[in-house]
Structure 1
Amino acid sequence: MIITTGVACSILVGGFLFLIFIRVPVAFALGIATIPIVMLDIRLTPFIILDRMFQSYNSFILLAVPFFLLAANLMNSGKITARLIDFARVLTGWLPGGLGHVNVAVSMLFAGISGSSTADAAGCGKILIPAMVKEGYDTRFAVAITACSSVMGVIIPPSILMVVWGGVMQMSVGALFLAGAIPGLLIGGALMATVYGYAKVYDYPIALKPTFAQFWKAFKGAFLAMLTPVLVIGGIVGGIVTPTESAIIAAAYALFLGAFVYRTVTFRDLGGIFYDTGRFASISLFAIGTASAFGWMLAFYNVPRMVVDGLTAYQMGYVGTALIIAALFLFFGLFIDAIPTIIILGTVLLPVATAAGIHPVAFAIIGIISLAFGLVTPPYGLCLLISAAIGGLNVVNVMRDVVIILAPMLLILLLIILFPEIALWLPRTLMPMTFK
């Protein structure tokens, strides 16, 4: 038999949601949901699904994913995160709620190195959450600010999500990196303003009043690590290296710092680092494969065209369409990992955004920021789960603080929707030939 668009959409989406409901892992649910369609439609065979999965893996740009993860793991294992924290402490520790500001600042610094929010939450959280509790901060606030600040790992360049987005949508990764810089800094500013408000209400202390000697010592300790984003982003924007090559440079540079400069990574440590990197990379890449097969199936049955026709019929205009897109990414981010959501929802909504006059780069930034918030919202909320586990709390106990901290971050997202030049100005200025 030949299946119609409506029936195919119902079977695919309905089957996927049912599998998620019974707690089948997302990567497996995406693959299993395609099986009934393959069995029912005479035009399809299992080999087509396997071929689509292989084609998704056969991508040079996706090699950047494991290498950025390796760079993050090397930074954490090499105690480089601690050096960044020391530098953030002298930069912002003198403000009311000093350690809270340090938490945000170090997440911004770490984001410019790792491209991974979960690595940020784990690496920084292990040090800062106990330190904040020891200094008299409420554990719920310490967990919430750590989780929320870690989302900048996928917004401030370099970003693993931007690498995946660029590979899937055939877009310039360099342009995406530049487009994420100003929104990331604005979100960091909003977080620091929130911390300042908490400090005034709860009388949280300053961390220290640094002397010039302390500042200089911390700067020297972190300077080499902070060169990483210069090497990565500068190389891509300058057209010297590809995103994959820049990820390899970041990993090699992190290994060089840890093993030969700071001497905090030994040969014995490398086995565990490579194992953890391979384990996390395989999870992400397997999800890319099954999501690509699922997305191809949707495209085969013209589901994207049906969605485009349905949304454009309402003629909501630029702002209305952008708000709907953000809402859909926010909703899907509650339940699904960001990478498969990009492959499935991003490819479906790109024609909708184009029809509404939304620039593809602005569309990407709206989607990535919306998905980043899903890292701190249950039931998925991976960064929140990691931070809560470090703080020894149940996720439910910290939700009030998470909502309070997320509110100004959502306002930044709304600001980007209303004024897309916030994201577009930097790539338009620095990459005029590539950025279109």
Structure 2
Amino acid sequence: MLTLLFGVMLLFMFLGMDIGISMGVASLVYILVKAVTGSLLPLMIIPQKMVNGVDSFPLLAVPLFMLMGELMNRGGVTLRLVRFARALVGHITGGLANVVVVTNMIMAGMSGSAIADAAATGSILVPAMKSAGYPVAFSAAVVGAASTIGPIIPPSIPMILIGSMVEVSVGRMFLGGAIPGVLIGIALMGTSAIIARRKKFPVEPRATWGELLDSTRDAFLALMIPIIVVGAIVSGAATPTEASMVGVWCAFLLGFLVYGELKLRDIPQILARTAVSSGAVMLTVATATVFGWIATSERLGPVLTQWVLSVTHDRFTVLLLLQVLLLILGCLMEPIPILVLIVPILFPVTNALGINPVHLGVLVTINITIGMLTPPVGLTLFLMSAIGKITILEVARAIVPFLVVLIASLFVVTYVPDLVLWLPNLVMGAPK
């Protein structure tokens, strides 16, 4: 019956259906076939499981973080962060490419979404880099690569979803992503510097102390929002959902009262965009809950665990195979479907091998964000192609050096788990 379940899902995906709908149809076909063969399962179980899947207080953080990102983008926060980053690192070899990376590292602490960060920074910095003499393909590539930091540095929408599916501490994963996110940012800046030096790209004039202080003062309140949100979560003062609500209010008040760029007439459109984005995520989570329940009832987890243990007991070999599998899936599927499909099946297997779930959660997050840069389904590639008004092939060629660095960083984090685990253990104590 598992063959039927996965076969129907893959068939509908091949026909171009959304992964959420494909899993829902596969679950329906499974239940109907069960009814024909005499094992009666009421059809009401589908809506019941779907509602149960999204009836979760932690999952409420997903649309709230999306809303916070929309408010920040519309409220003029991104422009101020770009100005701050330009004054801070624009004069270093790599010029505006460094500004892109630093801006995305800061934006990562606000939206938790790679696409949101790429859209916000790309719409400002790709035209600016083009005007400064950078090739459009390089500009689009560096924005796309830097946007992968968005879900790694806390807060992170994928980490919230992982935590809701497999009972892993979201606060620990948030802290676990901080050091890898910063290291990836430094690696991307180094790559940009090497390319810029070889191709003699321009460098921004060094900002005066007055300009640096002025840009810092202008961006100070925006810089405080991720500190407040993440600090509330890791200190235990608030849950991710409560902290995301605080972030929404901070973003609204900052854009509406302080900067004055957010207007009340903008709110309906912002809410509509958030509803569409979060609705797509929640539909996938809902149908994946039904799909996962069926897979569990067919004992997929124990069967897969037994098979893996019969092949190898070496957790580093399993991690290597897992990273390769996720990189391949990233070329074929969007990030959220990979999460809801793979994580509930994957974590029982890795738990049996003694792999730390926080480490694994961060690795999966890094991996699926890299997948957003790989054709044919890389969402960030499509977005940067549209922003830069160039072909996807041009962006894909320019992004290859950054992809190599990102994959190398992924394997460093894979085999040096302390890069992930040291900070959570320091701040929150070693898990019992």
Common fold: TM-score over 0.5? yes
For 2:262 and 2:311, the matched residues in 1 are separated by: 58
Among residues 135, 139, 146, which one is paired with 2:136 in the alignment? 139
The answer as to whether partners of 1:325 and 1:367 remain within 8 angstroms in 2 is no
User: Which letter does structure 2 place at the counterpart of 1:13?
Assistant: F
Structure 2 counterpart SS, 1:376: coil
Matches within 5 A, 1:143-158: 143-158=140-155
Work out which of the residue numbers 340, 350, 361 in structure 2 matches 1:343: 340
Cα deviation, residue 35, structure 1: 2.0
- Asked if structure 2 preserves the Cα contact closer than 8 Å seen for 1:70 and 1:277, the reply is yes
SS in 1 for 2:423: helix
1:93-242 alignment, distance < 5 Å: 93-242=90-239
Code of the aligned partner of 1:317: D
Query: Quick one: distance in 2 between partners of 1:282 and 1:398?
Result: 29
Which of these residues, 23, 27, 38, is aligned with residue 34 of structure 1? Answer: 27
Tell me which moved more, 72-81 or 392-401.
392-401
Matches within 5 A, 1:67-78: 67-78=64-75
How many correspondences in the alignment?
428
| Structure 1 range deviating more: 155-164 or 347-356 | 347-356
Structure-1 separation of matches of 2:374 and 2:292: 25
Alpha-carbon contact 1:113-1:226 (below 8 Å) kept: no
Which residue of 89, 93, 102 maps to 1:92? 89
Equivalent residue for 1:265? Answer: 262
Q: Which deviates more, 301-310 or 211-220?
A: 301-310
Counterpart code for 1:98: G
Partner of 1:378: 375
User: Aligned residue for 1:21?
Assistant: 14
Please tell me whether the aligned partners of residues 284 and 340 of structure 2 are also in contact (alpha carbons under 8 angstroms).
no
Question: Which whole-Å CA distance do the structure 2 matches of 1:15 and 1:147 have between them?
Answer: 34
How big is the shift at 1:75?
Answer: 0.6
Q: Which amino acid aligns with 2:316?
A: V
Instruction: Kindly state the Cα deviation for residue 316 of structure 1 after the two structures are TM-superposed.
Output: 4.8
Name the structure 2 match of 1:287. 284
Matched, 1:327 2:327: no
Matched, 1:49 2:46: yes
Q: 1:243 aligns with which of 240, 243, 259?
A: 240
Of 128-137 and 68-77, more deviation after overlay is shown by 128-137
> Secondary structure of 1:123's match?
helix
Structure 1: state its 5+ residue gaps. Answer: 1-7
- Structure 1 length normalisation: TM-score? 0.96
Give the one of 394, 405, 411 matched to 1:414. Answer: 411
Deviation at 1:314, TM superposition (A): 1.1
- Contact kept, 8 Å, 1:77 with 1:265, in 2: the verdict is yes
Q: Which amino acid aligns with 2:137?
A: R
Cα pair 2:102 2:185 within 8 Å, conserved: yes
User: What secondary structure sits across from 1:298 in the alignment?
Assistant: helix
CA distance in 1, matches of 2:340, 2:282: 12
Cα distance, 1:426 vs structure 2: 0.3
Contact 1:154-1:160 within 8 A present in 2 as well: yes
Q: CA deviation at 1:366?
A: 1.1
Q: CA deviation at 1:43?
A: 3.6
Contact 1:103 1:128 in 2 (8 A): yes
Deviations 1:285-325 (A, max 9, x none): 11111112112211111112221111111115021011112
Q: TM-score, normalised by structure 2?
A: 0.97
1:412: how far off? 1.2
| Partner SS, residue 236 of structure 2 | coil
CA contact (8 A) 2:155 2:174 kept: yes
Name the CA distance, whole Å, in 2 between partners of 1:130 and 1:43.
60
Partner residue of 2:357? 360
SS, match of residue 29 in structure 2: helix
Aligned residue identity for 1:117:
A
Structure 2 runs not aligned, ≥5 long: none
Per-residue deviation at 1:340?
2.7
